[in-house]
Amino acid sequence: MTACSDAHLSAGGRALGRYLVAALFTVLPATVQAATGQDLSELPDAASVIPRPERDPDPWIGMNRSLWRFNDILDRAILRPIAKGYRAITPDLVEEGISNFFDNLQVPGTALNQLLQGKPKTMLSDVGRFGVNTTFGVLGVFDVATRTGLPQHEEDFGQTLVVWGVPQGPYFVIPIRGPSTVTHAGGMFVDALTNPIRYIRNVRVRNVTYGLYFLDLRKRLLTAEVLISGDEYLFIRDAFLQRREFLIRDGAIEDDPFMDFDDFEDF
């Protein structure tokens, strides 16, 4: 008998077993009660006895692995060398200023999502942070707000949708962009509308700014790469999903081994 036939027989056997268990717990109470006169209504039903499989967070793993390999080849050939060169020739102080500048550009979108999630207090904190860093921090190049007690928050429309009751949806890999979920990816379209870079009128300046923005994102991930071990696809997937859960719950989870991987969601 072929391996394929064995697999079908095995699957059929499991299905038959589940059917027999369900039938047993359907017929058994009536049979025993008729014979003994005892009320067996407290017996568990079949649904509580037969274990249900947990939801698979990565049902498209075959396609996702193929897209991940494509992204990895592209990254190793082009993006990573450029990011390493950028980090090598750019002074640390300049790098930090550029990162702060782009972090500050995300604050208006974060504040909007705080409002949509019903968090007026943190929304006002984000508005204050943006005002302080934009003015006293020279367009956000210097992070003055953190030192004045206005911490950085991370919110996107994907998180807002989940707060509104929309399921996260399956994990999948976006070509070039990287890890995501269905809801996270859908939220990106709204997030793009709140990114101030989009509204730079000069096309050349806008494109250069976008290029520097993504270069900065890739540069930040260089420090996280040394932590990857084992199956890289599974490691990055689990780190991303754990990080999304951490952000959606505003850190209200007991153990988060990936909570320091701040940039996995942007990978």
Residues 122 and 9 in one domain: no
Residues 65 and 44 in one domain: no
Residues 166 and 237 in one domain: yes
Residues 80 and 187 in one domain: yes
Tally of domains in the chain: 2
Half-sphere exposure for 221 (CA within 13 Å, toward CB): 21
Report which secondary-structure segment, H or E, holds 171. strand 171-174
Residues 45 and 66 in one domain: no
Whole-number Å distance between alpha carbons of 205 and 209: 6
- Reported as a pLDDT band with limits 50, 70 and 90, residue 54 is low
Question: How large is the average pLDDT for residues 33-56?
Answer: 46
Residues 28 and 89 in one domain: no
Residue 104 has pLDDT above 50, yes or no: yes
Residues 30 and 129 in one domain: no
Question: How large is the average pLDDT for residues 118-130?
Answer: 95
Residue 21 lies in a domain: yes
Residues 66 and 159 in one domain: yes
Residue 7 has pLDDT above 60, yes or no: no
Residues 253 and 197 in one domain: yes
Residue 155 lies in a domain: yes
pLDDT of residue 73: 96
Nearest to 266 by CA among 234, 244, 251, 249: 244
Residue 55 lies in a domain: no
Residues 122 and 39 in one domain: no
Whole-number Å distance between alpha carbons of 236 and 264: 8
Query: Could you list the residue range(s) of the whole structural domain that residue 230 is in?
Result: 61-266
pLDDT digit string (tens) for 165-205? 999 999 999 999 999 999 999 999 999 999 999 999 999 99
pLDDT of residue 229: 84
pLDDT digit string (tens) for 62-103? 999 999 999 999 999 999 999 999 999 999 999 999 999 999
Residue 56 lies in a domain: no
Residue 122 lies in a domain: yes
CB–CB of 240/256 below 8 Å?
no
Q: pTM higher than 0.75, yes or no?
A: no
Buried b (16+ CB within 10 A) or exposed e, 52-72: eeeeeebeebeebbebbeebe
Residues 117 and 27 in one domain: no
Residue 54 lies in a domain: no
Residue 109 has pLDDT above 80, yes or no: yes
Residues 118 and 10 in one domain: no
Residue 244 lies in a domain: yes
Residue 75 lies in a domain: yes
pLDDT digit string (tens) for 206-260? 999 999 999 999 999 998 888 888 899 999 999 999 999 999 988 765 544 444 4
DSSP 8-state symbol, 261: -
Question: How large is the average pLDDT for residues 127-149?
Answer: 96
